[in-house]
Amino acid sequence: MIKVGVLGARGRMGSEAARAVGEAADTELVAEVDQDDPIERLVEAGAQVAVDLTHPDSVLNNIKFCVENGINVVVGTSGLGPAELDSIRTWLADNPQVGVIVAPNFAIGAVLSMRFAELAARYFESAEIVELHHPKKADAPSGTAARTAHVIAQAREQAQLGTMPDATTKDPDGARGAEVDGVRVHAVRMTGLVAHQEVLFGTEGETLTIRHDSYDRRSFMPGVLLGIREVPGRPGLTVGLDTLMGI
């Protein structure tokens, strides 16, 4: 049994994670910490792994505390850029037995989608992304779509593909969408939807579509549990769930 503490345990994602840890056969929920609770509870409870699902403002301090106290961390909170990752590496250098896994997206289907997009990109003349979300989302395109566009662009560059064919000369209202690293990205916002993405590839006479539908926060839990199981055996910093998945 892996002893797990959840940071942000009363938030939407955190409460779901606490439930999942409690239900899995090989993990034990030993501490639930929210914003007014002392983080020292993790130590008192003997947590081997902490799951951080808090807020961009607090995540870095939480990681520092855990690393210095020998607790492995699985991070699902967003907002960690290159500078923050460097700080984490510095702390880990002093605590080389500790592991930290930072995953921008814990939905296994989303991680697979992105990896498959990266593998497929070099074989197709055209690539575009359509992401579809509930209408309460504030930013367009989604972070996952922007990252997917980025890995497609990199793979095209490595394969020395040129720009995609596009004879559009008349598009007065911007129907062709956003261009992210040279890849067109379209964002649909619609009542009834949750979080969905289609990556479309086309070449002479054929198309390939990779679609991911996320209906529920529960879809993140298999990825969170995978991180919890893997982090004790992976000292140092690991970025991205794909590394753990061996794809």
Q: Which residues, 179 to 218, sit near its own copies by CB under 8 A?
A: 179-180, 184-194, 200-218
Residue with tokens 């989302």: 137
Q: Is 65 in the site for its own copies (CB under 8 A)?
A: no
In whole angstroms, give the CA distance from residue 213 to residue 115: 16
Check if 3 is active-site: no
Check if 133 is active-site: yes
Closer residue to its own copies (CB): 95 or 243 = 243
* Torsion of Cα atoms, 6 then 7 then 10 then 15, to 10°: -40
What residues contact residue 93 under an 8 Å CB cut-off, 6+ apart?
none
Q: Is 109 in the site for its own copies (CB under 8 A)?
A: yes
User: Residue 235, class by beta-carbon neighbours within 10 Å (0-12 exposed, 13-18 middle, 19+ buried)?
Assistant: middle
Closest separation in Å from C-beta 239 to its own copies: 19
Could you check whether the bond before residue 141 is cis, i.e. omega within 30 degrees of 0? yes
Return the residues of window 128-147 that contact its own copies according to CB under 8 A: 128, 130-132, 135-141, 145
For residue 247, count other CB atoms closer than 10 A to its CB.
Answer: 13
Q: Which stretch binds its own copies (CB under 8 A): 1-9, 85-93, 163-171, 229-237?
A: 163-171
* H/E element, 66: helix 59-68
Q: Is 155 in the site for its own copies (CB under 8 A)?
A: no
Catalytic residue, chosen from 133, 186, 196, 212, is 133
# chain residues binding its own copies, by CB under 8 A: 79
Catalytically annotated residues: 133, 137
